[in-house]
Amino acid sequence: MKAGRPRVLDYVAAVTVTTGGRALPLGGVALPNRRLVLRWLRRQALRLADAHGRSLPPPAPWLGARDVRPVAFHGSDAPEALRAWADDHGSQDHALSALESGLPALLTVVDPFVGLRVTLGAWPVDLWGWTAAASADHPSSRHLRTEGV
């Protein structure tokens, strides 16, 4: 990256469930700033917690169909932990600080009755820096074509 050029980061968030040694994605997004990605994670935590024992709330109109798929929890520990994280300003500030520092923000809750683990995660992705570095290393990359897309 050239000196004096601002570093541009995008942020990615994902929610996964792990059970029986298999990780399955429930959904994810790429958003332009850390506040939006944290807002998405917080919403997903509340949606999953609020769906415990009832149907999920409707998707957010500003996200379209990008809300996560539901999870059937067998106990109340995981939903309570999701709700506690989403409602705790200190946890939200800590997650924002981690993202601002270029580190991931992660939360894993466990449903101990069945060994179900739900992980909410967000991390910065330096797409512009990667693109600039790739272009500098491979000048012909500007002429690549994609076929069949």
Residues 83-137 pLDDT 10s = 999 999 999 999 999 999 999 999 999 998 888 999 999 999 975 665 455 545 5
Q: What is the pLDDT of residue 3?
A: 52
pLDDT band at 71; cut points 50, 70, 90: confident
Domain boundaries, the chain: 10-143
Check: CB of residue 18 under 8 Å from CB of residue 119. Answer: yes
Residues 6+ apart with CB under 8 A from 15: 25, 26, 27, 28, 41, 44, 48, 68, 118, 119, 120, 121
Q: What is the pLDDT of residue 141?
A: 37
